[in-house]
Structure formats: structure tokens, C-alpha cells
Structure 1
Amino acid sequence: MFYQKFRASIKLKNIVGYVNEFNHLITSKQSKNEQLQHKLQILVSNFCMEKLPRSANVFGDISGRKFERIPMNEREQKEEKFQDTEAHVPRRLKPSLGQYAKMIKSHISKNDLNSALQVLDLMKENRDKPTMYLYNLLLYGLAKQGDIKQCFSLYNKAKKYGLQPNAATYTSLFNACALSDNSEVALKHLNRLRKSLYEWQFLLNDAHYNVMVKAYSWHGQIVKAFQLVDEMRDRRIPIGEITYNSLFHGAISDKKAGMRHALIVWHLMRMKNIKPSLITYNLLLRAIRDTNLGNLKSDDVLLSGFDQTRISVLEGEKPDLLASPPTLSTLLSMEKEQNIMQRDTDVTVQKSVNLNDVLIRNRLILFGGVEGFLNRMSNDGIIPNIKTITLLLDLIPNTISAENILIKTAEEKNIKLDIDFFNMLIKRRSIRFDYKAAKEVISIAEKKGLSPNIMTFGVLALGCQELMQAQEFLEGIEVFGYKPNSVIIGTLVDTACHKKNFGYLLFMMRYMTENRTRPTAQTIEIVKKFSEELPKIKKLKATSKYRYRKLKCLEDNIEKFKKQYPKWQKLIKE
């Protein structure tokens, strides 16, 4: 009995507790609602143009009041218009950011930059925001084409959309300046961008410096290129082979004293124990071929403060400015003719000798000759390629013996010569009027399993000095399945005009009309100039000791040309 009463009292207390807790929740909720309503009234009163009534519980008093309308800005209007007018594309039907990137890469690999740029338009249609990575891909492709205008336009557009450019962005912009054809515009943008990065205190890395050195070097600003390398050294940024190769480009741009700069770069690499590559050696050969030594003379120090770079004059040594220390020879006389390539490394050097004169006579004589240069490459573990041999062809003495030794050297080093090398050899021999030796090159190429191309016939045309040779040459082209182009025809016409061979010239004019070969503007000008000089030719021949038959033949040819020339002019205009 007692237990049942005790249990009932406990239940009653619990019920009373629940009721009190429920009443407390209701009252607290009402107080919160009143507080929220009070805050809303304050918020509304800030935007309302009329004062609120004293009692907000009267229904209908607030509905008639006027509120101030705040106009939207231009960006908000565009967004609202876009939301209202454009259809929303489901996510599953749109490409992902990775797929957009693959599309851009595919177009860039095909050199289709217009299609790559259209990917941005596709993203806009799909309501996708491009990332800086996608912009960097486009900048990379445009920079390879040297398109400065388009690159900086994309760069500014990315910044306008709130994207943050990174290190790769500036590398592409510098590279666009380096590869541009317009030096004035490129240097203007390059200097401006470089100044901006310094003002922003943007941290430049080795890639930025290397591409800037390349840009200044390729546009002939060799002094600024060296200044950048000094800046890299001061900032303790590693200077490697790529940087030095860029400096070689700068040296090549200076035709008067570029070889001196190239020697400075070469000895800097040697002092820093940086191993040259095949690219380095090929650039060095370009510098030897295209530039001079400036005012360099014996006993000069190439690197200030480093006596080991002083040019010393030794007796009984081959001259080699690439050695450490650089040396010149005092043994043999310069007046001795150097005809064979193995003997082209001995030269007398006196204080009064101009080294540029020695360099012009034989480009490799001061650098160990061909044999010494190739041995130096071998000691560095560098295997020459076809480009190396082609560059050496421009540097060796202009003799058959030197050319044959170079071909033999290539065979010994297992370098496969291509038809382009032999085309250059044919042109080289034709320019020195050794047409017989030029034709022999064809048999050498055929022994190596090479077939002539249209360029081969273009250089062989230089050797067609007579009408019969031209006829045989044109028949040979057709046998190989080629058709003479306007350049080959122009070479033959130029030879006929130069030789004043009317039969040769009339044959070529008929050949062009029969085969409907359109001459170049240069060829038309050559024939026009020849026609204007006909009175001088006739007068010159008449006063010479020519027999009557030859004089009569000349007059007949002139008449034939006068009749044929107007017809030929009409046919080439059709």
C-alpha cells in the first residue's frame, strides 16, 4: 500500500515538471520571436522612406509605405540577364576541366591555335570558369609562335577575371618576347614586364632568368644579357649550360666582335667546370662562321682578373684559342698557302698581325683546325651530328681535297650524311665554277643510297652554262619524276641572259610557254633588263672583229627575240 502511494507521488511530480518545462519553452520562444521582430523592424526602418507607426500590430499599416530602390551595377545586370536568357547545361553533359585541358593540348600539338582559343568560348557557353592552368597552356602555345600581342591580351584578360598569374605565366610571356620577329616591340614588352615584376617583388627563378637571357641575346642586346647573368650570380641562382648557350646566341648576333664574346663564354664555362653539350659546340661553330674577333690581339686577357685566359704566343704549338690558356703560333709563315685541311693550323702571329685577317682566310685556323676541333668534342664525350658536319663544310678551305677529307671524317665517325649536305656541297662547288666536280657529287650521293630531290636539281641548274647542258638537265629532271619549278627556270634564264646566249634564252621562253610554267617577278625583270640592253649588244658585236656569218646570225637572233618577247609577255600574264 505504501509502495503504491509512493509511486503515484513520483509520477505526479514528473508530470508537474514536464508541464513547467513546456511553459518555460513557450515563454522563451515568444520572447525570442519578439526580439527577432524588433530587429526586423529596425532593419526595415533603415530602408523605408517613411517612419514606422507606433504600433506595428495594426494590420495593413506597413503595406502602403514606399521603399528606396537601389540600382544594380553593370556586372549584376549581366549576370541577371545571363541567368534569365541562357539555358543551363547539366554538369553531366559538359566537359570537365581536365577534358578542356586535353582539348587545348591537342590543338596546340597540331599548331591549330585558333581552335585552342575557341575552347575558352566553349567554356563560356557552358558556364564554366577557366583556370589559370588553361590560360598558361594557351600562353605556352602562342609564345612558341612569338605572338606577343595575343599573349599579353590573354594575360590581361586572365587578370581581369581575377585569376592570379604564376611563374609559368611569366615564363611564357618572356619566351614570346624571345621568339618574336619584331625586336623593337619585343624589347619594349620585355623591359616593361621585367620592370613590373621588380616593382611587385615577384621572386624570379632560374627559368625566368634563362628565358630573359635568351630574349636579350636573340635580339642583339648582348650587354644586357651579360648583366642578367651577373644578377643571377649575385642572387645565387644556378647558372648552367642553358644560360651559357643563350649567351652564345647573343654573341652570334654581334657580327663585328661576336667571336670575342663567344670565347669569353667558352672560357667561363671551362672555369666553372660546366661540360659543353652538342648544342654548345654547334653554336660555337656558328659563331666562328658568322662573327669576327673585333679588336682582339695577342697578350689580351679574355676574362678580367683571370690570367689563365691571357692569349699567349708560343713557339712550336698549333694555334688554339679554345685551349686553356689560349695560344697562338709563331713558327710558320702566314704567306704560305694553306690548301689541305690537316695543315691549316699553323700560322705566324706577330704583334702587328690582325687576327681578323687570319680568321677570314681560314675560319678554323685559330681554333685547332677541323681535326683539333673534332678531337676536343671527342674528349668531352660529344658525338657530332649531321648539323655539325654541315657547319664545318662552311668553315673548311674551299678545295676539293678539304671537302673529301670532311666526308671521310664523317664516315669514320659513323655520321650518316643526308641529301641536304650533298646539295650544299654541289652549290659550294658550282659557286666556285667547278661544275664538273659538282656533278661528281651526285655519284657520291648515289653510292650512299641517297636519291636527288628538287633542291638537288635547283643547285645543279647553276652548272648549265650552255643550251645543250640545259636540255639534258631538263630531260633528267623529268626522268626522276620531277617538274622544274619557277626557281629552277629562273636560274637557267639568268644564265642565258648573263651569257647573252639568244638560242638558250629563246629555248627557255618556249619551254615556259609550252609547259605553262609561270616565271617569278625576278625572272621577268631579268628578261626585261636584257631586252633593254639589246642596242648595246648589237653595237658591241658590230664593232668587233666578227665574220659576216656570225654577225648575220646575231642579227637574226635579235629579231627572233624581238618577235618572241611580246608574245611571251602576253602568255605569262594570262
Structure 2
Amino acid sequence: DMTMVLRVIIRNRLSENLRHRFLLNEPVDVILMFGQIMQRNSFTLMCSSLRAHHCPDDVNNPVKEVCPQDTDSRDGFIFARDIPDRSTQSYRVQFRSLILEKKLGDALAIHDKIVSKDKRLIDRSAYNILIWGCGKYGYSRKAYELYTKMKESQLAPSNVTYTSLFNSFANSPYKSESLKLCEKVLRDVKKFDINLNYINYHAMIKAYGRCGDILMAFDLVDEMMSKKIPVNSETISFLLQGCLSQTESGFILAIMIWGKMKQYRIPRIIQHYNLLLRITKSCGVKEAASLHVFLMKNPTFFLPISLLDTESNASENTSKLLPITKKSRDDSAFSNYDSPEKRYNGLGGLDGLLAMMKKDKIKPDIKFFTNILELVPDCDTSENEILNAMSINKVQPDDVFLCMLMKKRCSYNNYEGAKEVLKLFNEYNVKLNVLVYGILATTCRTANDAKMYLESLDSNEIRLNVQILGCMLNNACRSLDYQYIIYLMKQYKIHKITPSKQCLKSLANAHKRGRQIELDIDNNVDVPKKLRQRIKRISYKHFVMSYRPWIKLVRNSEADPWEQFTVKYEDD
């Protein structure tokens, strides 16, 4: 009996998982995957024999003998074209392995071939794996398309499906489009009355927060609490991530969340401190008055009005963070926190934050000190305080921290201090990387400096990238050295590097400033001698003539971040 023979072979050759599937009367699945082990000819013959033995009464779908020329082997899996109801287990395995190998485009191409060309259906688990892959890389448009096809195939989306969908929206580079997709999927969730768990809610909070709708994220927290789903430290992390998207009012939102954690007895973790420091750097308090009005109209909102209304309900740590009085009712109350440095001091500075962490029984990590480094004043004293605190807390600097320290010293022209950082690389056994060379690019002040620097990159086999060129271009634009700018524009074309948005903005400012200085000279307006000489040089005229064609060229070469996933399936 063929089945008995195969049972013995599989028991000795296949994994426990596949043996279990075979014993559960799924022999076709096992044989299809067993094709990786057995020779091709004998595999196809046994496949047809076993199929006939397993489904003798299948009159509507008679099984043909599968010949070698009727099968398609690709990437180690056998595609038997003459078995119409073949299980999708091998597809699921292949999709997952391709996604983990960062080949999402290949997985999507195989799916398109299966569905459109071969007219086969895949099950819900296979769809979930593909949507999970799209979520991993932020391919929100394709994730929603797969979700739509899933419903058209009359496959009910599961909780895993919705988690992966909202993860794709959260990681998408196109926030406004993803926010619209969030609304569509949320309507489906309510329409089908899906019983959401805390993982679903976290994915939704993350998506709405990162896409800019922070109020909806807080509504979801309210919904969690009304359903008695615990709000924990992970929930707070996603809320703080949402605050990062609010550049105008994110800081005051984060402070309110910080005060509310005490009331709900939610323990703080190191990620909360790191996110708070990032918010302190990037977000302001400009919309405090309008936010106060909203909170007064929504008393059941997760955020408390205690910070703006009464200090009695605020946590002890919060009142120490920002001493805001009960009379505060407009933006003027927050005028003292209009810069990152002032907001950092409002948090208590390095000593105050370390004291709070000690009280919360949290040990600082290297990310904490890296975030602190971006907020302290530009001076050796503040930087040495951080290094001393790291030594006391037994935190060893990594390459990112040391590169940030070097960059900070270069920013206020402390080039000797930046060279001292190179000694710290040796002291802490940290290897030099491309980031170090990128920061050293900021020391290039002329086209000749840049030429020597690029030669050193070639000799050390360091590849020129957009960050290194961007540092040099920003310096050139700041000093209006048009000869230097033209040289760097040529390097972009030679190395086929697409400039960042910040570089294009710096270049546009250099063009605008040059035009304005030229007009001032024509109108006999007093212009510094150094700038007057640079405008009269031939390099400026060359820059004016080549600027617009160059901008047009690089903008046409800008790549869509999703282009890497649009791989077309080619037949053998």
C-alpha cells in the first residue's frame, strides 16, 4: 500500500509538524512539501497515486497523472498544476520565508500569479501572512488591497488581519492616505461587530497617533477603559508616539499623559522617558489654549484637565516637571517653554530626570543619554556632565552616542573637541563606521576640502551616501560658496544619489538669497564686501544657469518607497 510506505518514510525524514499533518489525513499537503526531499519523477508519480487513493469518489475533478513537464518547481517548492484543490500550506511557508528574507515584492508577485493567472484561491492564513508582511514594511495601499480581496473571496478577516492592517498604516510613509484607510477599516470593524482585544487596540492607537489624529487615539483608549481592557505601559508608549506627530502641542499632551499615569497606577518604563525626551526636542506648546477648551468640553476624556485646572489631582512628579498654576488659561502660560532647551529645563534637567528614574526604579540606558545630549546647551561643561553621569550609572557609550557628541561639537565649531571624541572610540573599543565619516564631512568648508575628503573615503573604501553629501551641501549653502555648491551638485549626478528634502530646501534658500543680494547690489543697497564678491564671481552665474535643470533632473529621479515591492512575476 503506497500510503503505508510513505508513512514510514515520512516518519523518518520529515519534521514532527509535517508528520502530525499527515496523520491528520492531509497526505496531499505532505507529499507536495515532501517534493523537496524526493526525486522529481518519483514524487510526481506518487502524488497522483496517493491522490487517487485519498479521493476515489471525486468524479467532478478527476485527477490526471502528473508528469514532470506538468509541474513547476520554483524556490524549492513544487507547483502541481493538475491538482485543483491543492492545500495552500506550501504557499504560506513560502510567503513567510520570502518576507523574512526582505523579499516582500516576490511574495506579492507569487500571490498575484496564483490568484489572477492560475485562478487559484488561497486561504485566510496566507492572506494574513501577506498583510503582515505589508505591515512590516509600511506598504499600506497593498495591505488594504489584499484585505479587500480577502473579503471578496468570502474569507472573514480575523483579529490578526486587523492588527496587521493597522500596523501597515502606522508604518506607512504616506500619513494622510493611511489615515483615510484607517477610517475605512474602523467602519468595517464596527459594522461586523468585531470583538477587539488589547493587541488590536494598540495597533489602532499606534496607527491613528502616528498618522496625526491624536484625539482619535485617545478616544480608543477611552473605549478600552469602558470595555475594561487594561491600559498598560505599552498603551502609554503608543500614545507618546502619537504625541510626536503633534509638532504644535505634542509636549503639553505628553506632560498630561505623564500626570495621568500616576492616577491609573501605570508603571513607567525606560521607553517612556526616551519618548518624552524626543517629544521635548521636537514638539511645542503653541495650541495649549485650544487644547484646554477641548478638554473642558470632554470631561470623560482619558487626559485630565488637572494640569491646566487644578494641581491637586496631578501627580507629584508632574507638578515638579512643569509648575503651571490654576490660573493658566491661554498660551501665555507656556511662553517659558517655547524652545527645546527651556522645555528640558522644565523637566528638571539631567539631575531631575535621573532622580525621577531612581524613584521609578528605572535604570537609564544609552538611548536616554543620547536624547539628553541633543537637549543640553552647546558647551563642554554640559557634555562632560553627561559623560560623568554615564560613568556613575555604568552605561557605556556606543557608536551612535559618540557620533552625536562629535556632531554637536562640530555644530558650534569646536573642531578640536570633535577630534577628542575619536580618542573615546579607542577608549571604549567602539569601531569607526560610516557615521563618523559623515560627521567629519561637516568640517569641509571649501570645494578643495571636499575633494580631499572624498579621496580619503575612496582610500578607506567608504561609499559616498546621501547623508555625507547632505552635510557638505548644507555647509556650502549656509556660507553661499557657489563654487563649492556646484562641485557638490556634480557629485550627486556622478554617484546617482537623490538629495534629501532638507538639502533641496537649503539649495532653494541659497538660490533665493543670491537673487536677493543681486537685487540689492543693483539698487545700491549696502551689501557686505564678502557677499558682493561671491555674487560677482562666475561660479554664481554658473549656479543660476544650472540650478533649475538640476532640480528638475533630481526630482524626476525620486523613487517611490513602495516601488521595491512592485515586482512582476515572470514565467520560466
Q: Which of the residues 93, 98, 102 maps onto 1:107?
A: 98
Q: Which residue of 2 aligns with 1:448?
A: 428
Partner of 1:362: helix, strand, or coil?
helix
Q: Which residue of 2 aligns with 1:133?
A: 125
Q: Distance in 2 between matches of 1:391 and 1:327?
A: 21
Q: 1:81 to 1:146 in 2, by over 3 A?
A: farther
Q: Distance in 1 between matches of 2:367 and 2:138?
A: 25
Q: Which residue of 1 aligns with 2:391?
A: 411
> 1:231 is matched by which residue type in structure 2?
E
1:208 positional shift: 2.1
Q: Is structure 2 residue 219 aligned with structure 1 residue 240?
A: no
Partner of 1:395: helix, strand, or coil?
coil
Q: Distance in 2 between matches of 1:192 and 1:222?
A: 17
Counterparts in 2 of 1:203-222, with a 5 A limit? 203-222=195-214
Q: Which residue of 1 aligns with 2:416?
A: 436
> 1:357 is matched by which residue type in structure 2?
N
Count the aligned residue pairs. 462
> 2:97 is matched by which residue type in structure 1?
S
Q: Deviations over 1:480-511 (max 9, x none)?
A: 44465676567557756765779x859x9599
1:309 positional shift: 9.1
Q: Distance in 2 between matches of 1:416 and 1:221?
A: 38
Q: Deviations over 1:124-156 (max 9, x none)?
A: 688875221121111211222333332233223
Q: Is structure 2 residue 245 aligned with structure 1 residue 253?
A: yes
Structure 2 gap ranges (5+): 1-58, 72-77, 81-85, 297-301, 554-572
User: Does structure 1 conserve the Cα–Cα contact (< 8 Å) formed by 2:517 and 2:527?
Assistant: no
Q: Which residue of 2 aligns with 1:52?
A: none
Q: Deviations over 1:184-212 (max 9, x none)?
A: 33232322332233233332222222222
Q: Is structure 2 residue 222 aligned with structure 1 residue 262?
A: no
Counterparts in 2 of 1:255-404, with a 5 A limit? 255-293=247-285, 294-295=287-288, 304=304, 310-311=310-311, 323-324=316-317, 326-327=319-320, 354-358=333-337, 360=339, 361-404=341-384
Q: Deviations over 1:513-552 (max 9, x none)?
A: 9x966797769989988998998999999x9999xxx9xx
Structure of larger gyration radius? 1
> 1:371 is matched by which residue type in structure 2?
D
Q: Which residue of 1 aligns with 2:182?
A: 190
User: Does structure 2 conserve the Cα–Cα contact (< 8 Å) formed by 1:486 and 1:518?
Assistant: no
Q: 1:309 to 1:450 in 2, by over 3 A?
A: farther
Q: Which residue of 2 aligns with 1:229?
A: 221
Q: 1:122 to 1:480 in 2, by over 3 A?
A: closer
TM-score by length of 2: 0.64
Q: Distance in 2 between matches of 1:477 and 1:110?
A: 30
Q: Which of the residues 103, 107, 117 maps onto 1:116?
A: 107
User: Does structure 2 conserve the Cα–Cα contact (< 8 Å) formed by 1:512 and 1:518?
Assistant: no
User: Does structure 1 conserve the Cα–Cα contact (< 8 Å) formed by 2:163 and 2:200?
Assistant: yes
Q: 1:86 to 1:291 in 2, by over 3 A?
A: farther
1:233 positional shift: 1.5
User: Does structure 1 conserve the Cα–Cα contact (< 8 Å) formed by 2:255 and 2:318?
Assistant: no
1:416 positional shift: 3.2
Q: Is structure 2 residue 149 aligned with structure 1 residue 169?
A: no
Partner of 1:103: helix, strand, or coil?
helix
- Tell which has more relative contact order, 1 or 2 (C-alpha 8 A, sep 6+): 2
1:109 positional shift: 0.6
1:401 positional shift: 0.9
1:389 positional shift: 1.9
Partner of 1:236: helix, strand, or coil?
coil
Q: Deviations over 1:86-135 (max 9, x none)?
A: 98989x98575433321111011122223323454676688875221121
Q: 1:444 to 1:354 in 2, by over 3 A?
A: farther
Q: Distance in 2 between matches of 1:259 and 1:478?
A: 44
Higher alpha-carbon deviation: 528-537 or 284-293: 528-537
User: Does structure 2 conserve the Cα–Cα contact (< 8 Å) formed by 1:263 and 1:322?
Assistant: no
Q: 1:460 to 1:304 in 2, by over 3 A?
A: closer
TM-score by length of 1: 0.63
1:322 positional shift: 6.8
Q: Distance in 1 between matches of 2:105 and 2:385?
A: 50
Q: Distance in 2 between matches of 1:420 and 1:473?
A: 21
1:268 positional shift: 2.3
Partner of 1:450: helix, strand, or coil?
coil
Fraction of identical pairs, as percent: 25
1:236 positional shift: 1.6
